[in-house]
Structure 1
Amino acid sequence: MRGAVPHSTRTIEGEARQTGPIATSAPTDNASERTATYESLRIPAYRTLFIVGAFGFLATQSQVVARGWLANELSDSNTGLGGVFMAFGISMLVATPLGGVAADRYSKRTILVVTFGMLMFTSLWVGLGVSFDFIEYWMLLATSAIQAVAFSFLVPARMALTGEVVGRELLPNAIILGQITINGSRVIGPAFAGVFIGVAWIGVAGVYYVSAALSVLALLRCFALPPGLPSGERSDRGVLREFGDSVRYVSKHRHVGLLIVVSFVCVMVGFPFVAFLPRLATEVLDVGSAGYGILAAASAVGAVILSMAIAGRSKGRAAWKIQSVTGFAFGATLIVLAVAPNYAFALLAVAAVGAASAGFQAMNNSLVLALSDVEYHGRVQSLMMLSFSGFGMAALPLGVLADEIGLRQTFAIMGALVLVAMSVYVVASRRTRRRIGEADLI
């Protein structure tokens, strides 16, 4: 049974199916596409989930800066930075199918509790390693892999639980607000981490200890969430078969499949720019750890500003327009970053990259989940997560390329690839929407 969420029956590509779009007909005016910016926060369960995300993402974003700085010190190369992300990407590629199936099969609250426990353990381990001087590069690879597994379970469960507590109508708004917590933590976490790293009595170890404490706060707050139990009977089918169902589902619904594919390509070739910000700060711009923290925070400032601007425009035709515009802007701003002549210009360019990438990612997520049946939300989200495994795996070869030809040139190539991917997507998407009927997709 599908529960209380209404679905409409329609024929797409010659096959009858049930879907759950936000609207079954094209909106007649802009007002029908608007939602109050903070509408989802009126729901108590979503407020709790919002707070959990704020603690959890602040913990991880602080740690990302510390890990990047530590990897740069231990390896002294773009290749070393890329290697940490490669470990993350490979582990996520393996674990993501399991995470998606688990989100549709087990208690989502339990998954969140366990994964925040994993994040706490890895933060504490590295912090102790730095404090007692037994830290080695391989430990960064190991903790990166463990964190990837945690995120492979955490994100699908969190997204699926979001859909349960807010309902389909508010889902896009809730996703955008969730992005605000992520990007807000990217403002606060990197800025403080960058400053703390430069303070002798705090340093990298202190950042990791703070990250561990924040993970504990997120874990404890999870107990106030609803259990998020699956509807209907628990499946006894194998994990791979259930994940295969999601692949077949997406292949039959080409509008969803195109969104997932373009997300995979753009995230894989564009998002590794965050992996190389430590080298941009130290080797290209020569601004040290504090400058690196501010640079990382600038990306998040742009993301927060844009996320707040689009939170009320997260459905209807506006969502499709924002998704396309921000996708092209993502590629263009990476090229602008490549030619930034000084630190001030680079800050503006990084803020623009952050805004564009966040808008593109948020709208892609909103559209994919709004156009997918609720019982597939966990597994479809896990397919979206594969783009971040691709991002992790692409970071290493891009790091090698940056060591060979230069970081600026590598940023320019990344931006050009994003622009090509978006151009192909727009052509394919328009054909699909004409064939299916635009009213069925918004």
Structure 2
Amino acid sequence: MTLLEIFPSLRSAMTPRLDPAVWPDGTHVDDHGRITVAGVALADIADQYGTPSYVLDEMDLRGRCRTYREVFPEAEIAYAGKALLTRAVASWVTEEGLALDVCSAGELAIALSAGVDPRRIIMHGNAKTPAELAAARTAGVGRIVLDSVTEIALLASSLTRRQNVLIRVTPGIDAHTHPAVATGVTDQKFGFPLAHGQADDAVRRVLGQPRLNLVGLHCHLGSQITDAAHFATAVHLMVGQMAQIRLDHGLILTELDLGGGHGICYRPDDPQLDLSTLAGAIENALDEACARYRFPRPRITLEPGRAVAGRAGVTVYRVVSVKHITGGRTFVCVDGGMSDNPRVALYGARYSVALANRHSSAAPAVVTVAGRHCESGDELAVDVELPSDLHPGDVLAVPGTGAYHHSLASTYNAVGRPPIVAVRDGRSRELIRRETVEDLLRREASR
């Protein structure tokens, strides 16, 4: 008889610590060695809803909304819906006092169907179609962010009343993020560069349209930014541009939207953006820039998405097979993969993984958690330590999957997208049901 069999309560104490930097706040290990989130065992989620499943801790997400409101009491916080948007999520963030940022007619429809006040919605997008602009106009969204010369003319020609707008400016700041998500540099598709007078030209065009009410400027530096100094630099450049607009046109803009991109941890040793440091950097930069240009302090808007939803999410998978390659790696193959988490293939993202359904006293082994899809690059986690006694049927949990997982999911290999299961106070409920083969077949035309 083992010590664990004599003292079962030691199981949780012997389970490796679940780092709060990557797991939801409500994560614990129960007396059976199972990982629980908000009082619900992830193994029970796997049994009830199947695998893979996205699990979302409602109170963790709400808590991060409250933290933003506390750290930035004078700023407007607009949740970036592209990270994760369902009716429930839209309701949660707005109930916590956040505005909402959407970038398509679909996201706008989800927000409106959840009862979000359209005046609290910001409409983004670098290639908004006439139909999407019409949807935003009809809904009465609070602000539309203008991103191209074509869009300026298109929106202005379709309005019957004044519409508040922001101009998206590209400040030319390299925040040293992955090239695929570096949106602050000049040579990319978003916004009007400060360089070569393109932002100045956009301002002139907007001010020439009587139904466009220019209230401020917008910028976005990229994603997964961990150094607050980049935001301070953006404040200096943007306030300088606002002061130039006052000089050239006699207009005082009152809003400065600094976008989002606030970096979070996916693994315990990852760097992350400290919100208190960010608040101090923005505050100091505003004081300095406004004093330098003698410009009245604008209202700041921040657009966190990943930093609100990312750590609230966990994805559960079931082990299908364990394959040992002589002279090579050990592959733990699961029933999901790049269709529910494309970030590994897209960006080389790296994740933590844990055995969720039991405690194991076996020695750790270095393995690759591989997906089910017909691509050699379909790997969810490379060179991670998991117990050497893993076997088919075990449940694995990957934290940090609340943002850009459901929203980027595909139906590759005709595999339906997973459900989203919300957990709170020991209870679970399905927010989005699993997509079935029947759902996929319904889209096909008859032969």
* TM bucket normalised to smaller: under 0.3
User: Higher helix fraction: Structure 1 or Structure 2?
Assistant: 1
Q: What TM-score, normalized by structure 1, do the two folds share?
A: 0.25
Highest RCO, 1 vs 2 (Cα 8 Å, sep ≥ 6): 1
How high is the TM-score relative to the length of structure 2? 0.24
